[in-house]
């Protein structure tokens, strides 16, 4: 099955390099620079715009919209809905990262409002966040997952994708991706990814870039997720001293910038669940 996916991955990657899709982010200020650089490193063009006066105009220029609720305020909440509705009207893919949903009432209510008013192409979160949305009450501490169990993950991804009519990505030690019909596991990555702030946000941006090619969002979500896992492995291999978190962060961006389809064909670990 993995071999069947490679032509789709190649087409997505070649489209990124050729078209440099513009990815409109309404994202959090903790990781905004890393998200922008991640999109640039793989070959896309990021723009960060969240003011109500311009989000509709900006999303009209974009190939995809990435929404990340990591640092909420009342202005950005309205920007999410305004931009999301405009993207839907234009047929522009929308990717949501529900950071910390379930941790506070504001986050939970905001994500619920977005899900009610905006049609997503992809929802990406950790296990706690996805369980919270699904209705199982995932355990969240701040914006971090404290529930990384795969128990029930396949069924949750499958059923939530059907319910929301979008691709669902659950990232963790093993990533789970479903379009409501199929479920794939991705087993690339390294523990060091959990020691750098924002790798989940960066994964969402990579998914947004791949979805911005307007190819199949299921294939695009798998590819964007796998790119981060593979980059994490390559970054760790390149460390001169294995506990250097700061150096790992730099090597991670280098690995995304030097990513190739050949690397993916040789090293990706994807299988149907």
**CA proximity to 20, closest of 49, 46, 48, 38:** 46
- Looking at per-residue pLDDT, the higher value among 243 and 174 belongs to 174
Residues at the binding site are 48, 124, 171, 198
Q: Which residues are annotated as a binding site for substrate?
A: 48, 198
What does the alpha-carbon distance between residue 217 and residue 166 come to, in Å, rounded to a whole number?
A: 9
Q: Which residues contact 69 (CB under 8 A, 6 or more apart)?
A: 28, 80, 96, 97, 98, 99, 100, 101, 107, 110, 111, 114
List of residues 6+ apart from 187 with CB closer than 8 A: 174, 175, 229, 269, 270, 271
- Checking if the pLDDT of 29 tops 90, the result is yes
- Higher-scoring residue by pLDDT: 119, 3: 119
- Determine the average pLDDT of the residues in 58-81: 97
pLDDT tens-digit readout, 129-167: 999 999 976 555 555 544 555 668 999 999 999 999 999
Provide the number of structural domains found in the chain. 1
Q: What is the pLDDT of residues 172-198, one digit of tens each?
A: 999 999 999 999 999 999 999 999 999
Q: Is the pTM of this model over 0.85?
A: yes
- In angstroms, the Cα distances linking 27 to 66, 95, 121 are 7, 11, 17
As a whole number of angstroms, the distance between CA 96 and CA 117 comes to: 13
Report the percentage of the chain scoring pLDDT > 90.
Answer: 90
Q: Are 103 and 141 in contact (CB under 8 A)?
A: yes
Annotated binding site for ATP: 124, 171
Average pLDDT, the chain: 94
Kind and range of the H or E element at 56? helix 55-61
- What is the CATH classification number for the domain harbouring 106? 3.40.1190.20
pLDDT of 142 reads 53
Residues 34-57 pLDDT 10s: 999 999 999 999 999 999 999 999
Residue 146 is predicted with a pLDDT of 47
CA-closest candidate to residue 81, choices 60, 52, 101, 58 = 52
Give the strand order in the sheet containing 22-26: 45-48, 22-26, 64-68, 94-97, 122-126, 167-171, 175-178, 183-186, 270-272
214 is in which domain, residue-wise? 2-272
1, pLDDT greater than 60: no
Q: What is the pLDDT of residue 145?
A: 47
pLDDT of residue 105: 96
Question: Strand locations in the chain, DSSP E?
Answer: 22-26, 45-48, 64-68, 94-97, 122-126, 140-141, 144-145, 167-171, 175-178, 183-186, 270-272
């Amino acid at each position: 099955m993995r071999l069947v996916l490679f032509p789709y991955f190649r087409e997505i990657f070649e489209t990124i390099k050729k078209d440099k899709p513009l990815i409109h982010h309404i994202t959090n200020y903790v990781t905004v620079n890393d998200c922008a650089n991640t999109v640039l490193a793989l070959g896309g063009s990021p723009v960060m715009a969240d003011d109500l006066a311009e989000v509709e105009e900006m999303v009209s220029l974009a190939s995809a919209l990435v929404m990340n609720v990591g640092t909420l305020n009342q202005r950005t909440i309205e920007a999410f809905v305004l931009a999301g509705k405009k993207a839907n009207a234009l047929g522009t893919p929308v990717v949501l990262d529900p950071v910390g949903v379930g941790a506070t009432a504001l986050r939970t209510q905001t994500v619920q409002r977005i899900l009610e008013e905006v049609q997503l192409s992809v929802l990406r979160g950790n296990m706690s966040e996805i369980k919270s949305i699904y209705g199982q009450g995932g355990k969240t501490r701040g914006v971090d997952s404290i529930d990384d169990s795969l128990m029930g993950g396949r069924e949750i991804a499958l059923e939530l994708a059907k319910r929301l009519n979008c691709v669902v990505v659950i990232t963790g030690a093993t990533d789970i991706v479903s379009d409501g019909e199929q479920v794939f596991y991705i087993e690339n990555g390294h523990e060091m990814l959990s020691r750098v702030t924002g790798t989940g946000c960066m994964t969402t941006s990579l998914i947004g870039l791949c979805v911005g090619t307007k190819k199949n969002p299921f294939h695009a979500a798998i590819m964007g997720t796998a790119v981060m896992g593979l980059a994490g492995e390559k970054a760790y291999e390149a460390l001169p001293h294995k506990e250097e978190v700061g150096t790992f962060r730099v090597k991670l961006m280098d690995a995304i910038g030097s990513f190739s389809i050949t690397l993916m064909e040789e090293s990706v670990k994807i299988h149907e669940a």
